[in-house]
Amino acid sequence: MEPTLVTWLLVAFGVITLTPLTVIYGIFLRDPNAPKSKDLMIGEGKDWRDKTHFRLNLGFAWTDFLFFVPLFVSGSVGALLGQPWGYVLFGAAGAGMLYINIILWFVEKEHVYPALGPLRYFTYFWGFFVYWGALALAYSALRVGGIEF
């Protein structure tokens, strides 16, 4: 299962999409109550809507570092090495990204979308995560099923 150009493009798209969020989550986890953490997580000068909003973001940050980042990194490495297990883990990372962003569509859209507008919301702030997740999941399923691109 040698990696194809599509494999490399999807890994690159994932790295470009996920690295800024991972850095922000790292800063947030180091000191969740710091003003810089709040500014990065919800916007300059904004405040948490309530304790649930804060806890939800803290949970996402921990989950990303304990579950998603290792899954994405190991899946990417495995896929680039041409290993079937790599494509399975890469697809699982895509499924996880779809799962969480479907939840975020319902939880965060009413607050985030109006503040950002459609272009920013449907690109980096929500869309790229969904696009990458769907593409990674579909591509991995096809590759594991024996289809090459």
For the stretch 4-17, pLDDT in tens is 999 999 999 999 99
Q: Per the domain annotation, does 46 fall within a domain? A: yes
Is residue 146 classed as helix, strand or coil in its secondary structure? Answer: coil
Confidence (pTM): 0.91
| pLDDT above 90: residue 125 | no
Give the mean model confidence (pLDDT) for residues 69-94. Answer: 98
Side chain identity at 16, as an amino acid letter?
I
Give the mean model confidence (pLDDT) for residues 26-52. Answer: 89
Angle at 49 between CA 44 and CA 50, to 5 degrees: 135
Residue 32: its pLDDT value, please? 94
Residues in CB range of 4: below 8 A, 6 or more apart: 148, 149
Give the mean model confidence (pLDDT) for residues 110-118. Answer: 86
Query: CA separation (Å) from 1 to 12, 78, 144?
Result: 18, 10, 8
Alpha carbon distance 24, 3 (integer Å):
30
Q: Per the domain annotation, does 149 fall within a domain? A: no
Give the mean model confidence (pLDDT) for residues 70-97. Answer: 98
Q: Per the domain annotation, does 44 fall within a domain? A: yes
Q: What is the pLDDT of residues 47-61, one digit of tens each?
A: 888 999 899 999 999
Residue 18: its pLDDT value, please? 95
Measure the N-to-C terminal CA separation of the chain; round to a whole number of Å.
11
Alpha carbon distance 81, 84 (integer Å):
9
Residue 8: its pLDDT value, please? 98
Instruction: Output 138 or 109, whichever has higher pLDDT.
Output: 138
Number of domains within the chain: 1
Maximum pairwise Cα distance, the chain: 50
Instruction: Give the range of the structural domain holding residue 23, as residue numbers without chain letter.
Output: 5-144
Check residue 24 and report its DSSP letter. H
